[in-house]
Amino acid sequence: MARIVLKIDVDTLRGTREGVPNLARIFDRFKARATFLFSLGPDHTGWALRRVLRPGFLKKVSRTSVVEHYGVRQLMYGVLLPGPDIGVRAATEMRAIHEAGFECGIHTWDHVYWQDNVRSRSREWTVAQMQQSHARFVDVFGTPPVTHGAAGWQMNDAAFEQIDAWGMHYASDGRGHTPYRPVVNGRTLSHVQMPTTLPTLDEVLGVDGIDEGNVAEWMLERTENNPCDQVFTLHAELEGQKLAPVFEALLAGWRAQGHTFATMGDYYATLDRNALPSYPVTWGEIPGRSGELIVQPD
């Protein structure tokens, strides 16, 4: 059957310290390969509370029980508590994942700050944020990152161009249906975008009767007898913690369907980049997620 590319967004200190090791143990049991994308700077999770006026945000919060998944202390970072530096406080956990053989890359420097600002910020701001994350990655891992996956699927033109400037061959910064090369300011960039193709668990939980008891079955219906490779984004704070049993059921189901598990690098190695289509950078909405994000045109 097809590959399921497992891409883990690690947003917070707690997710790095607790969710990441939990996921590593799960992947080891399933002999699954996966890519971890790390937030490398300050954890300002509490700043996300400012999104309360954004259309759809309160609805999503009520569906996914943010306090239960993230914890009260986590939600105070940047509000009533200083934001801890993840790359300093959890460097040991990050290195352990790399040493265990998992592919590692950049998620962001400051998750909430990037997600809430990048669409409207300048090239200078964007490059400065990305260079901070790149330098910290090298400090932690001792090697340059091979890939990037944007926080909240939020990017701008300069961010896509910076991926080329770094010499990265592949990234996963948006949502879509097939790998492609992005077009920015009329120019086709060198790197390949491999967008997230499947819904995330937090986008479907609480919708149309879907709950933790049947969401794995719902997701498996979308991959049964489907010959297309898929990119699935999960979160260390969710599937690595309270939703771990759901995710294990999902992995077992995918394995039973005959699918194999891959890193982003594994997936890229199967592609003929010269035969890939090109698409302009586009914004759009995704069911179950508030606001606009990077999407691949149909």
CATH of the domain at 124: 3.20.20.370
User: Which of these, 49, 46, 38, lies nearest to 11 by C-alpha position?
Assistant: 38
- Residue range(s) defining the domain that contains residue 38: 3-295
User: Which of these, 292, 15, 56, 9, lies nearest to 150 by C-alpha position?
Assistant: 9
- Determine what percent of the chain is predicted with pLDDT higher than 90: 85
Query: Beta-carbon neighbour count of residue 181 at 10 Å?
Result: 16
Task: Return the structure tokens found at 2.
Answer: 């097809």
Q: How confident is the model at residue 75 (pLDDT cuts 50, 70, 90)?
A: low
What confidence tens digit (pLDDT) does each residue in 184-214 have? 999 999 999 999 999 999 999 999 999 999 9
**Which residues is 36 bridged to in the sheet?**
8, 104
Dihedral in degrees, nearest 10, Cα atoms 210, 216, 217, 221: 100
Q: How confident is the model at residue 47 (pLDDT cuts 50, 70, 90)?
A: very low
Q: For residues 102 and 24, is the Cβ–Cβ distance under 8 A?
A: yes
What confidence tens digit (pLDDT) does each residue in 166-185 have? 999 999 999 999 999 999 99
What confidence tens digit (pLDDT) does each residue in 22-37 have? 999 999 999 999 999 9
The lowest-confidence range among 43-57, 148-162, 270-284 is: 43-57
Count of domains forming the chain: 1
Q: What is the mean pLDDT of residues 225-243?
A: 96
Q: What is the mean pLDDT of residues 96-112?
A: 97
- Sorted by sequence, the CB contacts under 8 Å of residue 267 that are 6+ apart come out as 3, 5, 170, 179, 194, 229, 231
Q: For residues 64 and 283, is the Cβ–Cβ distance under 8 A?
A: no
